[in-house]
């Protein structure tokens, strides 16, 4: 049977899907052994659709018309946001249409509800494009690693953050300067808050948790920390120590509680993730049978995202048997509070340049049970003010934070201590 595709939203990603389906029609038909054709495009802006100059494709301003078009078998929701996207998806599922979406925020908040609606109606809900754009990571987790218990996932999932941190690292720039340029060039969203504050990465982290660990995760249970506090000094000190700073989604399996959080982290320079530069994304998966695997590519952009959307459409077209479930949930697992997590830390103290201060800080850390592995003090970075940089051994976060609170309260401390977590294999 030939497959008709409906696209709701003819903007960036929708436009990429329209372009892919029309440009690569023959390739797709040859590979699939059946035709997969664009049947209907809906957008409130008729001129946007008209710009594609489509032939033999119904154009409408009404998503309901598209959903109810009998020639549409798969509905691609590509408008983003919660409303009205959620209602469009639910309507399509109820009309027994398969749905493909790139809407990570919607899935993060309502993924389970939508997955149940798909399953109740015997149709599929697919979302490869919602995490890491053109990288087939959802497929890798669902199918490629289907026989594996996932042990941990480290993801570089936001291209804007990775771009900013890369330029800070390799061009010695400050955060604000790179951000301003990125916004001016249209490379970062304006306002860029969802990206740089970590929320976008957190939404993807929730989706990965559902797939990897079979559990729903509420946004409010995640520790989410962006990159706005990272300075060029931290990036430079980290390199001196052999590390690169990246914004990471970190997920770890556990029996009763999983770890799931988003924060900047020091990655050893020898780790492949440290070599992922600029706007590229990568996902590193450690699992019990396949061991380490990594997936790299463009996490955003018109065509890379379209590649993932169309791959989902083709998977649906290929499958003539029963619909595959969007998520397979088991027992709901608790997310470990950040205070209970254990890891190594990078600390950057800013203090007066006086004798005895280093000793005092070390005494506090020792009393709180935090053990130091490396310590370096640099020349004055400002009049009468020095940076003391330390790396700790494995420490419980609660103990570390108690020590930091004490250090920050010292009269000799000039700025709050910068704390960045360290990720190692």
Residues that bind a copy of itself (CB under 8 A): 16, 20-21, 24, 27-28, 30-33, 128, 134-136, 139-140, 143-149, 214, 270, 272, 275-277, 280, 287-298, 301, 303-304, 306-308, 310-311, 314-315, 318-322, 324-325, 328, 330
Nearer to a copy of itself, 287 or 351 (CB): 287
Dist. CA 140–CA 248, nearest whole Å: 19
Pairing of strands 385-392, 372-377: antiparallel
Catalytically active residues, by annotation? 204
Nearer to a copy of itself, 138 or 238 (CB): 138
Q: How far is the CB of 396 from a copy of itself (least distance, A)?
A: 30
Nearer to a copy of itself, 325 or 337 (CB): 325
Q: Which residues pair with 259 in a beta bridge?
A: 252
Instruction: Count CB-CB contacts under 10 A for residue 330.
Output: 8
> Tokens in use for 160?
């804007």
> Tokens in use for 133?
């754009």
- DSSP character at residue 382: B
> Tokens in use for 8?
């709701």
Dist. CA 175–CA 167, nearest whole Å: 9
Contact 347/419 with Cβ under 8 angstroms? yes
Q: How far is the CB of 23 from a copy of itself (least distance, A)?
A: 8
Q: How far is the CB of 54 from a copy of itself (least distance, A)?
A: 18
- DSSP character at residue 197: T
Nearer to a copy of itself, 223 or 271 (CB): 271
Contact 10/306 with Cβ under 8 angstroms? no
414, 420, 421, 425: CA torsion to nearest 10: -130
Find, among 333, 109, 326, 131, the residue nearest to 215 by Cα: 333
Contact 80/300 with Cβ under 8 angstroms? no
> Tokens in use for 424?
């190692």
Torsion over CA: 319, 146, 159, 82 (sign)? positive
Dist. CA 420–CA 227, nearest whole Å: 10
């Amino acid at each position: 049977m030939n497959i008709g595709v409906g696209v709701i939203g003819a903007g960036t990603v929708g436009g990429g899907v329209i372009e892919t389906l029309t440009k690569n029609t023959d390739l797709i038909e040859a590979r699939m052994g059946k035709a997969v054709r664009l049947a209907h495009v809906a957008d409130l802006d008729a001129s946007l659709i008209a710009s594609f100059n489509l032939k033999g494709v119904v154009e409408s301003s009404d998503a309901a018309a598209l959903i109810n078009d009998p020639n549409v078998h798969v509905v691609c929701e590509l408008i983003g946001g919660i409303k009205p996207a959620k209602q469009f998806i639910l309507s399509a599922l109820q009309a027994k249409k398969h749905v493909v979406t790139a809407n990570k925020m919607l899935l993060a908040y309502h993924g389970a509800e939508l997955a149940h609606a798909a399953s109740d109606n015997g149709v599929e809900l697919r979302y490869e494009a919602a995490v890491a754009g053109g990288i087939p990571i959802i497929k890798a987790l669902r199918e490629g690693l289907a026989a594996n218990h996932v042990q941990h996932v480290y993801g570089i999932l936001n291209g804007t953050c990775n771009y900013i941190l890369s330029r800070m690292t390799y061009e010695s720039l400050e955060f604000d300067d790179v951000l301003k340029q990125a916004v001016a060039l249209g490379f970062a969203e304006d306002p860029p808050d969802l990206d740089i504050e970590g929320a976008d990465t957190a939404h993807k982290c929730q989706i990965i948790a559902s797939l990897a660990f079979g559990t729903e995760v509420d946004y409010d249970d995640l520790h989410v920390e962006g990159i706005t506090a990272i300075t060029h000094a931290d990036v430079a000190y980290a390199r001196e120590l052999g590390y690169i700073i990246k914004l990471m989604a970190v997920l770890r399996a556990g029996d009763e509680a999983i770890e799931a959080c988003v924060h900047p982290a020091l990655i050893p320079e020898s780790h492949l993730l440290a070599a992922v530069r600029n706007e590229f994304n990568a996902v590193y998966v450690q699992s019990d049978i396949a061991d380490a695997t990594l997936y790299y590519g463009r996490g955003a952009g018109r065509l890379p995202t379209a590649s993932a959307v169309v791959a989902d459409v083709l998977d649906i077209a290929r499958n003539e048997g029963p619909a595959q479930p969007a998520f397979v949930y088991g027992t709901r697992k608790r997310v470990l509070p950040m205070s209970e997590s254990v890891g190594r830390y990078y600390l950057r103290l800013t203090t007066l340049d006086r004798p005895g201060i280093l000793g005092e800080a070390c005494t506090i850390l020792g009393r709180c049970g935090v053990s130091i592995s490396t310590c370096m003090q640099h020349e004055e970075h400002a009049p009468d003010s020095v940076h003391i940089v330390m790396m700790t051994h494995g420490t419980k976060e609660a103990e570390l934070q108690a020590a930091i609170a004490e250090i920050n309260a010292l009269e000799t401390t000039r700025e709050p201590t910068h704390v960045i977590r360290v990720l190692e294999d």
